[in-house]
Every structure is written in structure tokens, then in C-alpha cells.
Structure 1
Amino acid sequence: MGRIGTIARRTFLIGSAAIAGGVAFGVWRYRTPHANPLLDGLPEGAAALTPYVLITTEAITLITPRADKGQGAVSVQAALIAEELDVDLDQVETDPGPPDPAYYNTALSGDAVPFRSTDDSFLAETARTVMDAPMKFLGIQITGGSTTVPDGYEKLRRAGAVARETLKAAAARLHGVAAADLRTERGAVILPDGARLSYQSLAAAAAATDPVTDVALRAPDQWRLIGKPMQRVDILAKSTGTQSYGIDMALPGMVHAAVRLSPVQGGTVLRHDARAAEQMRGVLRVVPVTGGVGVIADNTWRAMQAAQAITLESDPAPYPADMAGHWQTLSESFTPDRQDSRLRDDGDVDKALAGGADIEIEYRAPYLAHAPLEPVNATVLVTDARVDVWTGTQIPRFVQKNVARIAGVDTARVHLHAQMIGGSFGHRLEDQVVRHATELAMAMPGRPVKLTYSREEDMAHDFPRQIAMARGRGQVKDGRIEAYDLGIAMPSVMASQMGRQGLPVPGPDLQIVAGAWDQPYAVPHYRVTGYRAPELAPVSSWRSVGASSNGFFHDSLLDELIHAAGADPLEERLRLCSHAPSRKVLEAVGEMSGWGSALAPGRGRGVALCLSFSVPCAQVVEVTDTPAGIRIDRVFVAAEVGRVIDPVNFEGLVKGGVIFGLGHAMNCQITYADGATEQRNFDVYQGMRLYQCPEIMVRGLENDDKVRGIGEPPVPPAAPALANAIFVATGRRLREMPFDKFVTFA
């Protein structure tokens, strides 16, 4: 606790120093909203009542700046605005809006401070506020960290309420009545005599009315949308195959491109031979790009075929050429000089383990590809006047900045048209494809250039999930866990990812211990240490980031100690649990799964809990050891999110996270040979197949007073719950992923 306090005080002092020399100005600036970007070039008769609500004479448009990559972000953002604006989702259009500081993410600072998410002390809350200030001043517009709902829950409702009350004020002024005598319903202001004034008809008057910012948000018993099953705004298009993604972009005069990159990540091409490619049908240009060569042709297939015809030679990988070297680097990182953090150090672990440990184990988790269904792509048009970019991205302002730098123009001349994303899992937090597309478009000014990575290039040059290793030991006494000591070694995800954006990551990388150091257990002697390994292959955020591997490490060691103590896996977790909401999710999955009921021989039931992204999520997995291998029968999931916005989408996200976590634990890995990725398509990177998918039961709890996101928290507990169930069914402990190295799955 002393270490946490030291870091927290330092954070507070740094934040205070940042506004020193004028505290009043600093606070004023922090509280002052960014300018409304929708006011630029506003059509005549239109009203941009907030940065999130645009009303013209023809339409009501809700701005949904968090990227939709299949998780329903557009719908949930629109619903939060519509709830207070008094419109239904079938009455509005949605638009991602321009890249702008006004759309900075207010929820990212929560996981950026060294306090447990369960800590609501003054010091913890102050540190979060201090960390939010640079997010705002820098305009960090990012979709990630399961923050879309926490970021927008109050902010977007307030935007809708401000727009609603401003429209009422405009109607009151036009008709000489008191605003208090007006009400709203389905996109109209209702006058005392019952006359309906559509929002569109009031747009011009509202634009000339000062915004009404003193608004009260409606109580839950007045909600029409929040908490009710909704039909997502994109469901019809996706169900009929008419949804447009970035890969579907078609523009007049457009040409197509593909790339052939260095076989190694970050490698430099020393020389290449494109003579054969240049002679191929449809090829227009062969253009060097950063790290490789690009081909521009009259269609995508011809561009990809020509790119494959290019031979190139690059320098060696800047990381170990094969996997033995990667694992060896991690193994050598458990040293005091590589210690990155020790945020959890309760009791006296060294004294408790002085006489020896009852359990001493090593765990491993491999690199993993993002591998979304839509290969990354970007379309760029460079003209003398401006640069236009069409792509799906989670980092629009970084994209805008990098395109401006490459094209040599001011950022104001870069116009980003954000597209729907066909899956990401963190992949679209990178913008390498946009940088390459910009380099290619500069060779073809005046013509849109659409770059699509082949599946092979996409997977070979993905920035994968971090490789990680953990070493755990512990002691049991009188049927209970007495001491728990976990060390985790991995390269810094944040330093790798942010380094590609030219941003430093000062201090410890909390992702090294995320999903481990802050778990809600009160073990008498309890320590979690993070070791920052040297940089290996470049890595990036992968769905649930550090917790994706640490959930497996932490809960697996816990389960092994519980077994050594001879205790019941669920009962001992409940006994140790020191966080009421986490206890309730454990109780919920126990009740849902009928924990304690008898199982037939060859069947196993495993439980796991991981608190990540401030969400406690518990899972019980049931398996059967069949002659054909391990069959996953059922999964029970409970998660505490404070408020379930849409029960239908909530259930879908949880089930998707479970399948994602189980499938990758079963059989997925990225390995390197001669510095190059060995897995380059889905035939060798399968995940869970349809016939292997279990029945999944979901329960969302609403006991906390803070609203959280659910996109990532179901992933971390899936692997340990599966491993724990397999142990019960077979007696075999799985301590390394993927599990198919050791067992067969039916």
C-alpha cells in the first residue's frame, strides 16, 4: 500500500505542478468545454445545439464519435442521446463526426492511475481527475478500454437534454409561452394547446437561441430506451448484407493497391526486384513504401498478385529470430533491475514463504493476432487543396496527424471519413495501413487509392498481443490460502504502441500487471510484481490487453493453491473476496451453474473471476472428456457493470467475449521463425469452430453505482475457467496456452 500511496502522491503533485502559476486559469481551462466543431460550415437554417446534436430542416443527426467495430457503439451512443432528446432511433441519422478535441475520451484516465478500480478514496478520485486533464487538453479521441459507455453515459445524455431544452426555449420565444409549459415527444415540442412543432422546423430559431445548459437528467423510471431491449441501428443493413465497410469503398476514378512488406516486423527493405510485377496486367505503378513496396493497379486482385511477384531482401529482425529466444528473454526478466511495479504487497510474503512454498509454478501465454474478418484497408485521395481519407479507425486524431505529416500539409486539410469496421479487437488502434495508403496516394495525385492488405500481409504485419510469462508460488495452511506471490514478465504494450505514435509512456506500464495486481481478494500475504521485459516483437492492445493473459496467470495460481488446500474452488474464492460486487458475481455464477451438484465421471466444472476494466466478471465452464477430446458443454457468466444499457447487445458482447477467450486459449498462437510470422491465415489460426461453441448463459448485475463497459471483461476469465474445468475432468493442469499443445478438443 505504501508503494501505491507514493505513486499516487507523485501523480497528484505532477498534476498540481502542471497548473501551477495560475491555478484558477488551469481549473477554468479544464472546466471549459472545447469549441463545437459542428459550427464550422453549418448550413443555413441548421442548428448544432451541442457537438453531438445537429438539426437541419431535413434531418436530426446524432454524432457518435466512438468507433463501431461490431460492438454496437453507434447504437448505444445514439440511444444515450436520444433518451434525453426525446427522439426514437428510427427518427435519426448517425454520423461519426470529425476528428476533434471535443470528442476526447473522458473515461480513459480510470485505468491510467495506480489505484484499484475498487478504490473510491479522495486520493484515488483526485488522481483520476488529474489524469483526465491532459486527456482533455491533448484531445485524446480514442475508442478502447471498454470505455464507450462509461465515457458517454452522462455526457451524451446531457448533450441530448441540452438540445431538448434549447429547442423548448426557442419554441417558447417564438410562441410567447413559458418553456415550463412545453413538453417534448418523438422529435417535436408540444405547445400547451397540443400543437406539435417538429425539431426540424425549430432548427433556425434554436440556432439563434443561447443553449440551455442548466438541465436535469431524467430519472430511470422515466427512461424509454435505456435498460430496454433495443434493435441496433445497423441490424437491418448487417442482416441483409447491405452494410458498407471501409473495404467496400468505391469512388470515381479509384485505383487499387496492395503491399509487399519486409518479412520481419519493423524490418527495412535493403533491395527489391519489381520487374516481373511491373509487366503484369493492370499494374499502374510500383512505389516504395515504409518497410516495403506497394503496387497500384486497376483492381485489388491484380495488385495483390503483382505484389507477390516482387522479391525483396531485408535486414534481420530486431528481436530474436525464433521463439526459443523470446521465451528466454522473458525467463531472464525476473530480476530486480527489470522490476516495473509492485502495486500489491500485502502482509509479508517473504517471511511467509521463508520455509518453502507448497506450490511453485510457471505459466506462459503466446503472441496472438487480432485477425478481424475485414482485412485492414484505407482509401486516400491527395489533391492540391486537401487530403481525404476513408478508413475505419479507433484513433481518428492520430490518423489525421500522421497523414498530415506524410503529405506535408496542415492537419486542418486532412479530412477523415470514418467507416464502419468489420471487427478490430484492438487492430484499428494502429494506423500503418493508412500511412502506407497515403504514401501510395501521393504517387497518384488526383486519384483515390484504395489499399487493402491481403490476409497474409495483414496477419504477418499485425502488431500482436504481447507474449507473457508468469511465475507463481504460494502456501496453504489449515485448508486456506495463506500466501500468494505472482511475478509477471512481458514487454511493455503501451511503450510499443504509443511509441509508434511518437508518445512516451512515463512510469510503470500498468498493463504488465492489469487483471492481476488489483484482484478483489484478501490473502494474508499477497504480492504481485510486474517485470518489464526488453522489447521483442512489436506489440499492441489486444482485446483486454494485459488482463487477457494475466487473468489466466492469476486465477490459475489461485486455483492450484485452493486445490492444494483441499478447499472448494468457489467457496474459497468467496471467503477471500473482499469486494461486495465481485462477491455477488461469484454467487451468481454459482447459483446459475448449480455449483456443488454432482457431475458424471469424465466431466469437469471450473470457475474463474477476473476484475478488469473495473468490471468483475466470473465464469463457470463445464466440459466433458470424450473419446474425441475435450468438449465444452456450457458456460455461465455474470458481470457487474452498474447499468445494462441494452440487454440484447450486452448479452451478445458477453457471449462474443467468451467465445473469443475460449477459442484463443484452445488453439491460437503467433510464432516467429527467422524473424517472420509463421501463421498467416485462418487455416492455421482457427479459434473456436461453430460446432465447438457451447451453450452460454449470461447475467448482468447492476449493484454498483458506477457505469462500466462490457466489451473486454468477459475475455480474461474464459481461459482459466476452461483450464480449471479440464483439470477437474482429467486431472491434468494446463499452464501454457494454447491448450491444444497438451489436450485435444472435440
Structure 2
Amino acid sequence: MSRAGKIARRTFLIGSAAIAGGVAFGVYMAKKPIPNPLLDDLKDGEAAITPFVKIDAEGITLITPRADKGQGAYSIQAYLIAEELDIDPATAMITPGMPGQAYYNASVLSEGVPFPAYQDGFVAETLRDFMSVPAKLFSIQMTGGSSTVPDGFDRMRLAGATARETLKEAAARRVGVARGDLRTENGAVILPDGTSIAYTDLAAEAVEIDPVTDVTLRPASAWRYLGKPDLPRLDMLRKCTGTEVYGIDMEFQDMLHATVRANPAVGTAGARFDASAAEAMRGVEKILPVSNGVGVIANNTWRTFQAAEALQIEWSAPDYPGTSDGIFAALEQALGDPDSYDHRQRDEGDVDVALEAGDVIEARYRIPYLAHAPMEPMNAVVRVLDGQVEIWTGTQIPLFIRDRAATIAGVAPEAVKVYVLPMGGSFGHRLEMTHVEQAVELALAVPGRHLKLTWSREEDMSHDYPRPASVAAGRGKVADGKVVAFDLSVSQSAMAPEWFGRLSGMSLPGPDATITTGSWDQPFDIPDYRVTGYRAPSMVPVSSWRSVGASGNGFYHDCFLDELIHAAGADPLAERIRLCLHEPARKVLEAVGEMSGWDGPSIAEGRGRGVGFCMSFGVPCAQVIEVTQTEAGIRIDQVYVAVDVGEVLDPTNLEAQVFGGVIFGLGHAMNCALTYEGHAPLETNYHAYEGMRLYQAPQIEVRALSNGSRIRGVGEPGVPPAAPALANAIFAATGQRIRELPLSKHIDFV
């Protein structure tokens, strides 16, 4: 075979998929194909036609590189490939594979463009497509931003279609017929006479054929799996029988265990420590300094925890406020301070003139730091042997982990293997890698041994990088029963630059859009409309939390809009619909009104309902929540939710994701906060950080619409509207307007 043929086979798909549906830019590195990583370790008889499909005589393996943290990512990726490959994915082996540039996320950066998602003109869409270029160049293999389905919708179907057509070509050459005369069914090529040849029987021949890239994707009307009701999650049997292997379940013979105690002031270096008492404890093998703290190695996890508690450590103090009161004072000081100005992406009309005179409505809001608090605490297994590093962990950023581990161990990145495991939750927690850094540092002290590091629940809660605390101020005006002026200012520490700096060592220049995401980009047409972000000093190191900036800004924007609508004497739902300038979003609002039988916020004495709306990750989501005021407190009775994701690929899982988002959003709005004293949170376990209880869970009804111009993800958009819908419902039932989260600081729940 010619050299050109070999290169084409090794580099198929990635170059073309990088610009699928978008614009090809004349930049060499942006267009340069990426080698197929599966070819590096192929055995005789194995065919890796694309980076997502490997076939040998024993079976078919589907590579699903977006991490699964409970949201069903492995399952939907497998269905996307299988739909075009024409196999039952339940019969295939499914694995995230080794991390590599081929699996960069072409969609995750698209939300960072300076256009709101409801603007889908040529310039906005071109720029969104262009964001795949830096994702490719910087090898951003990341799971997050509700991007798994948008990123994989075309690319993974193309991978399946290319593998299918290449296998047909192999069969055609074998039997001497035209490929167009063949069809496929359930993992086999069907000849004109009805004879079938299994894909697995064609693997060796497919290796010698350049991939057939001129393929046509099947229309939705021909889908066998996608879009069908009751599509089974491929991991349900393992999860329902307790046989799924998470990171915390990994075991190896003769394995050592470790844990750490790090500085309560997250990100601050440790100081002097006395390990004499801990070293004398049973099973303890080594006690070593690690970045920001001290690590303990012992022969089981419990003994590492006990020894870590026995350490006497003198911690260094950071230079930011050590209490929540001090933190909020700094946030308030930055709000409106010209020296703290960060950005203003929405400024329509003339807000200053509109608010110069007359009755100006004002309100101030604030939200606390929030932990991610997944059920599975952070953990990793590491082995260092003969210049090679192996890592087993649940992560959303495997390439970042590979490269950081290589730096710590002093080896080339190619010498590090990262085995990505299913995760027991994340909500953004596993976009960090501090635990892996600590595990590699400790594993270097015990070469050749598998070392399993596990954070205690208390360490996991107190050394999380939480959702930022922030404050906001709203000023507005109404006239003739309408909202006519809206001015919102938000102050918080920068999240995106801090997070990216920890991962890459590089500081992101420019403003931090997450300060106002979920407020500046809402699809409403208000004559005088302004949203401003102020960057407070860096304090507690912060990170991405489920729905990122929209998690707090959805509360600010929608609650203040509700206050203005009330002041105007307008109906909360009708005025939102009147103001809405985006047809899919308007239809979502109309749908939730129909679902709830909306005829106003008041239901009966002591009963009310509130509307919440937020567009996040391009998904308009509206919620109506009904509550009852009882003698013991507020009871949440019913939640109606309407969303538009453009195309519904898995109706059952979509409903589950929205259910989970609503419960997650409500539980945190009701009860959760991290309160700081001495630079450390007081809430270090679930007894002090209590989400929604089972008996408090309302009935939830979900309706999915398909009017959007792009396919979208749904893991996060159900979260932002929950808090404002609940706060607005409480106002409708009680007349009490609550502007601070958690709501339980001001009202009881039953």
C-alpha cells in the first residue's frame, strides 16, 4: 500500500469532523489531521477504522471518550455510533479508551463566544464553529458544559457510518460485488443473496482498506435507537445490581492506601507538622509532605484516615478574608466599583437616563459558596514503575491529568496511561485534579506498588473548589403595566481564569464571562437593559459547578424580573412571554403555562406558584413551581418543566436529567451553603450540608420541545430556573420576597 494510503487511514475523520457543519479555516494547524490513536497498540487481526470503533474476531469495541458521571454519557455515545454502524450497542464492549488529542471536545468552547445563544445568525454561528479550532489545537478533551451530545452528534455518527461502509467495502472485495448492492444488519454485511458476513469476520480485510469517508448519515426517520421512547441505558444493569466498578472500587493485589490532610485554606501551602503520633499507629508505612499538606500511606484506608487525624500540623494562612462575613464584605465592596469593572456584554437603550428620575425599584441579592459534594469522594490509584505511570480515576479532564502527572513524575506524557473510570457523581468536582497530583507524589515514594489515595468525606467537602459566592444589585423601572428598564450588576471572584490556571499553568486573559452568564444572555427585549460584571478579588479558590455561572445568575436575573413584573401589576408568565424575543424560548414559556394550567400566581389562600426561566447552554428552560404554606413551613407540591434541546435523542434519559437538575437546584436553594471560619468551611459532611429529603420531593412533569436551531445537551439547564421559581412561588404564597440563598435562612420547609 502507498505511503499516502497509510497516512489517510491513520488520520481519517478527525480532520473532517473538526469542521463538520461549520467553516474550514485556512490555518495549517487547525486543518492538520490528527492520527488515529487506536492504531498505536493494534494487535494482529484488529481493525481500528476510526478512532471510535475497533473490531477484531472476538467482537466490536466502541470508544466513548466523554466521561460518565451518572448522566448516561457512555450510553448515548454508544447509541450515536451504533445507529450508523448498524449494531446493537448492548453486544459491544464500551470503553472511554486512552485519552488523546483525537478526542478533543469541539463544542465545549462554543458557549464562550460574545453572542447570546438565541442569536443564530451567520457571524454568531461561524464563530461558534470556529471555537472547535482552539479546542483542537490545545487538545481540550473535557466533559462538561452539557456538550457531550452536541459534540458527538455528527462526529460519532460519522464514525459509525464510515466503519459500516468500510466493512461493506471489505465484503464487496471479498465476494466481487459492488458495495452499493450490499446492506448491513445487526453487525453483519448482507449479500444480495441474503448471506450474511459478520463484521468480526471482516476485520482483517478492513485493516487493508482506506476508510470510506464519503458517507451519508441516515435521516431521523430511519433511526433504530435514537429518539425512541424507553431507550435502555446500557449501564443500568450494573448500577442496579451494584456491580459497576467506580474509581473507589478499584483493588489490586498488594495495594497500598493513602489519604491526605491539606491546608484548610485551599490552595495555600502547608507548614510544619509533627507526625510522631501517627507514625506509631498500626499499619502506617510512610508519612510525607505533599503539595499543600501531608500524605499518609498505610495498609488500608481506615488506618490512613486515623493516622491523618493524629497529625499535628501548623498551617500557613492566606491573605484573603477568613470568614464568610469578610468575604461578602469584599464582594459588596467590588460591586459597582469602577476599579473592579470586568465586562458589560449587554447594554441596550440608555439605562442611566431611564433611571434618572421617577420611581426606581431596587433590590440586592446574594448567594453562598456551594460544594459539589458527590456521593463518591475524590480518589485515584497510581503505580509508578520503570519510568511509566499508570493512573486509574474518575475524571472529566484526562489529558490534563496525563500531562500534569508526567511533569510531577519527570517522564514524557506518552509514558503516562490514564484509565478513566465511571464516577459516582461530579457536578464539576472532577474538573479538578488535586487528588491525582497528590496520589502521584505519594506513589513516587513507593515505586512498583499500586497506591490508592482516597479523600475522607471531610477532606472532600473542605478541599473542594466550590461554586463562587456572589452578590448582585438590581435597579429597574416599570410603566403602563410593563417592564421598561432593567439594570443588574453582579460581583464575584473570577472562576474561569482560576480554574484554567490550575489546569494549564496559564492565565486566561480578558474578562471572565461566567460572572454574568445566565443574566446578560437572556432572550428578553426590554427597552433599557444592562447587565454588568464586577470582578472581586480572588479569595476562596473556586471552580465550575453544575450550570456554572447560570446557577446563581439565573436566580438574580429571574427574581429581579419577577419583582419588576409584580411592581408593574402584570401577570408573571404573560409578561415574560411578551418580553421574549426568541421563538423557541417563547414556546417553552407557553408550554409550561399550558402544562400548569396557569391562570395567575395565586392558587388559594396560602398557596402560590412562581415562574422561573433561564436560558443556559443554549437551552431555554421554564419552570412553574406550586407551593403551600403550612403551619410548619413551605411544602413544595408540584414542578412543571418545559425545555427545548433542538432534537431529543433519548427521551427517558432527558426526563431523568431534568428531574435530577430540578431536585439538585431545589435542594441547594432550600438548604445548602458553605460558611467559612478560619479560612475553612464549617460544613464538612452531609449532616451539615443537607439537600432535599425524599419526603420533600415534589411531583415533577417534564415536556421536551424541538424548535431550537442546534442540538443541545440537557445535563445542566434544569438547575438554574429552580431557585427563582421556588422563591417566586414563596412570594406568591406568603408575600415574603427572599433575596438570599439558601432560602432556609429566612423560611422553614417541610
Cα distance in 2 for residues equivalent to 1:109 and 1:545: 13
Cα distance in 2 for residues equivalent to 1:121 and 1:357: 38
Q: Write the letter of the residue equivalent to 1:209.
A: I
Runs of 4+ in structure 1 deviating by more than 4 angstroms, as ranges, are: 23-26
User: 1:741 aligned to 2:745?
Assistant: yes
User: 1:654 aligned to 2:658?
Assistant: yes
Quote how far apart the aligned CAs of 1:383 are: 0.6
Contact 1:267 1:318 in 2 (8 A): no
Quote how far apart the aligned CAs of 1:127 are: 2.4
Q: Write the letter of the residue equivalent to 1:530.
A: G
User: 1:581 aligned to 2:606?
Assistant: no
Cα distance in 2 for residues equivalent to 1:128 and 1:420: 30
Quote how far apart the aligned CAs of 1:739 are: 0.3
* SS of the residue 2:177 aligns to: coil
User: 1:602 aligned to 2:602?
Assistant: no
Cα distance in 2 for residues equivalent to 1:233 and 1:31: 35
Quote how far apart the aligned CAs of 1:120 are: 1.9
Residue in structure 2 matching 1:558, options 552, 556, 561: 561
Partner of 1:572: 575
Change in 2 beyond 3 A, CA 1:96/1:357: farther
Partner of 2:509: 506
Quote how far apart the aligned CAs of 1:496 are: 1.2
Contact 2:387 2:411 in 1 (8 A): no
Give CA deviations for 1:457-480 in whole Å, capped at 9, x if unaligned. Answer: 010100000011110010000100
Partner of 2:112: 112
Contact 1:386 1:413 in 2 (8 A): yes
Cα distance in 1 for residues equivalent to 2:489 and 2:25: 44
The 5-angstrom pairing of residues 249-288 of structure 1 reads 249-288=250-289
Partner of 2:16: none
Residue in structure 1 matching 2:704, options 692, 700, 707: 700
User: 1:469 aligned to 2:471?
Assistant: yes
Give CA deviations for 1:362-401 in whole Å, capped at 9, x if unaligned. Answer: 0001000000000000000001141000000000000001
Cα distance in 1 for residues equivalent to 2:613 and 2:263: 41
* SS of the residue 2:140 aligns to: coil
* SS of the residue 2:314 aligns to: strand
Q: Write the letter of the residue equivalent to 1:171.
A: A
Residue in structure 1 matching 2:523, options 520, 525, 549: 520
Q: Write the letter of the residue equivalent to 1:95.
A: T
Contact 2:107 2:131 in 1 (8 A): no
The 5-angstrom pairing of residues 235-634 of structure 1 reads 235-333=236-334, 334-501=336-503, 502-596=505-599, 599-634=603-638
Contact 1:264 1:677 in 2 (8 A): no
Quote how far apart the aligned CAs of 1:503 are: 2.5
Change in 2 beyond 3 A, CA 1:200/1:495: same
Quote how far apart the aligned CAs of 1:246 are: 0.2
* SS of the residue 1:153 aligns to: helix
* SS of the residue 2:593 aligns to: helix
Cα distance in 2 for residues equivalent to 1:324 and 1:24: 52
Contact 2:406 2:416 in 1 (8 A): yes
User: 1:77 aligned to 2:80?
Assistant: no
Cα distance in 1 for residues equivalent to 2:282 and 2:689: 33
Cα distance in 2 for residues equivalent to 1:117 and 1:586: 17
Q: Write the letter of the residue equivalent to 1:442.
A: L
Cα distance in 1 for residues equivalent to 2:362 and 2:460: 39
Quote how far apart the aligned CAs of 1:123 are: 2.2
Cα distance in 2 for residues equivalent to 1:297 and 1:444: 11
Cα distance in 1 for residues equivalent to 2:455 and 2:52: 33
Quote how far apart the aligned CAs of 1:31 are: 3.1
**Greater displacement, 551-560 / 487-496:** 487-496
Quote how far apart the aligned CAs of 1:540 are: 0.3
Cα distance in 1 for residues equivalent to 2:33 and 2:152: 15
Give CA deviations for 1:675-694 in whole Å, capped at 9, x if unaligned. Answer: 11111000000110111000
Cα distance in 1 for residues equivalent to 2:167 and 2:527: 59
Q: Write the letter of the residue equivalent to 1:593.
A: S
Residue in structure 2 matching 1:666, options 658, 666, 670: 670
Contact 1:286 1:295 in 2 (8 A): yes
The 5-angstrom pairing of residues 55-204 of structure 1 reads 55-204=55-204
Cα distance in 1 for residues equivalent to 2:169 and 2:323: 68
Cα distance in 1 for residues equivalent to 2:359 and 2:236: 54
Quote how far apart the aligned CAs of 1:507 are: 1.3
Aligned CA RMSD, in angstroms, stands at 1.2
Partner of 1:10: none
* SS of the residue 2:487 aligns to: strand
Give CA deviations for 1:608-665 in whole Å, capped at 9, x if unaligned. Answer: 1100101000000000001111000000001000011111110000000000000000
Cα distance in 2 for residues equivalent to 1:294 and 1:24: 49
Identity of aligned residues (%): 59
Q: Write the letter of the residue equivalent to 1:551.
A: G
Give CA deviations for 1:325-371 in whole Å, capped at 9, x if unaligned. Answer: 11111111121221111111111111110104431110001000000
Partner of 1:725: 729
Partner of 1:8: none
Partner of 1:227: 227
Quote how far apart the aligned CAs of 1:518 are: 0.8
Change in 2 beyond 3 A, CA 1:599/1:25: closer
Contact 2:106 2:131 in 1 (8 A): no
Q: Write the letter of the residue equivalent to 1:539.
A: V
* SS of the residue 1:62 aligns to: strand
Q: Write the letter of the residue equivalent to 1:664.
A: H
Partner of 1:217: 217
* SS of the residue 2:551 aligns to: helix
Residue in structure 2 matching 1:676, options 673, 680, 685: 680
Q: Write the letter of the residue equivalent to 2:331.
A: L
Partner of 1:4: none
Give CA deviations for 1:211-266 in whole Å, capped at 9, x if unaligned. Answer: 00010000111000110121111100000011110000001221101111112212
Cα distance in 2 for residues equivalent to 1:703 and 1:121: 16
Contact 2:259 2:304 in 1 (8 A): yes
Cα distance in 1 for residues equivalent to 2:725 and 2:363: 18
Residue in structure 2 matching 1:640, options 633, 637, 644: 644
* SS of the residue 1:737 aligns to: coil
Quote how far apart the aligned CAs of 1:24 are: 10
Contact 1:110 1:117 in 2 (8 A): no
Cα distance in 1 for residues equivalent to 2:404 and 2:506: 13
Contact 1:624 1:729 in 2 (8 A): yes
* SS of the residue 2:726 aligns to: helix
* SS of the residue 1:655 aligns to: helix
Cα distance in 1 for residues equivalent to 2:106 and 2:200: 30
* SS of the residue 2:271 aligns to: strand
TM-score calculated relative to the size of structure 2: 0.95
Contact 1:619 1:636 in 2 (8 A): yes
Structure 2: any 5+ residue segments left out of the alignment? 1-22
Quote how far apart the aligned CAs of 1:132 are: 2.2
Quote how far apart the aligned CAs of 1:96 are: 0.4
Partner of 2:11: none
Quote how far apart the aligned CAs of 1:147 are: 0.1
- Aligned pair count? 724
Cα distance in 2 for residues equivalent to 1:301 and 1:592: 51
* SS of the residue 2:649 aligns to: coil
Cα distance in 2 for residues equivalent to 1:256 and 1:135: 36
Cα distance in 2 for residues equivalent to 1:507 and 1:576: 31
TM-score calculated relative to the size of structure 1: 0.96
User: 1:48 aligned to 2:51?
Assistant: no
Quote how far apart the aligned CAs of 1:318 are: 2.9
Partner of 2:5: none
